[in-house]
Structure 1
Amino acid sequence: MKLLVAALESELSAFPATLPGFDRLVTGPGKLQATYALTRALDANAYEEIVVVGTAGGIDPALEHRVHEVGTAFQHDVTDLDGISGQHVSLPARVATGRDGVLIATGDHFVDDAEVTAVIRPTGASLVDMETYAYIWVAGQFDVPIRVFRAVSDSAEDGALTDWRDAVARCSAQLRAFILEEYGV
């Protein structure tokens, strides 16, 4: 059995209520809710794979507005004792799925500010979201393979929240088509 994970129910709006071979988990937004919900799910059941779907802001202007697989994540909203941004005091600077894919910057706030995006962009991240780092880290703690698919919903700059609200249904449909093609369900 696989576990289909999303932060918000709206990100699964194009998906059927049940998907053969998958349990479903909606964690809530942000790193803490993602960590808590996924930890509880993995503590209660054994899964062969975690499949995360959801939206992300595209901070690379050349990135197409489609579904992208994430390979690596870091936390853009933490600093270590030396003040180095993106480095946590006790967690790894980056976590990886073990698959090729884009770099995503995870933080606990919805990025909708050109100044914030300008600070994150030099890290090489293509996307920004609120949960991916947590999902990958928790999967690693349980030694469960994970794949993360993010549909680009907005530019993570001024007006991004409005863009996201308008785009979430489109993104869900893109993700549903992608999962159907990738997994045959």
Structure 2
Amino acid sequence: MFRGNTVMSGYYKDENATREALAGGWYRSGDLAVRHSDGYIQLKDRSKDIIISGGENISTIEVESVLFNHPAVLDAAVVGRPDEYWGETPCAFVTLKDGSHATAEEIIRFCREKLPHFMAPRTVVFDDLPKTSTGKTQKFILREKAKAMGASRDRAGANFEGTELFR
């Protein structure tokens, strides 16, 4: 939460969002952070982007940072996909670099080598990411796409047989 003369006065033509964000005179950004013992503040994710899978909180930013390190990945975004057993599971939307090739299984295996197993995507969608005119990824559109896929049913998530590929 922030307060001061550098904080915006409201959202353009959206009184409800302004009232909600500026309740009590404090701006609620929706950012989640950790303050370390040395006073350093580390932003972890947006509260609306956190994926809750089997009671575990998954930061989409952490998963995306691993995806960006894959040699074939140009762009990536992660959102929660409904899951009948876990509640939600990570769903990665990936744009590959020109001339590069990777399968969903390769992407998932790469993530599982670098992240706790529960944080690795269970679904990989290869497509261009929707962007605003300023280049920001429109995650709300990706959330809608993930929801439209329906709930996944991969109870164990230990193998690739339950992995789904969407193009």
Q: Same fold (TM over 0.5)?
A: no
Give TM-score scaled by structure 1 length: 0.29
Determine which structure has more spread, i.e. the larger CA radius of gyration.
Answer: 2
Between structures 1 and 2, the one with greater helix share: 1
Give TM-score scaled by structure 2 length: 0.31
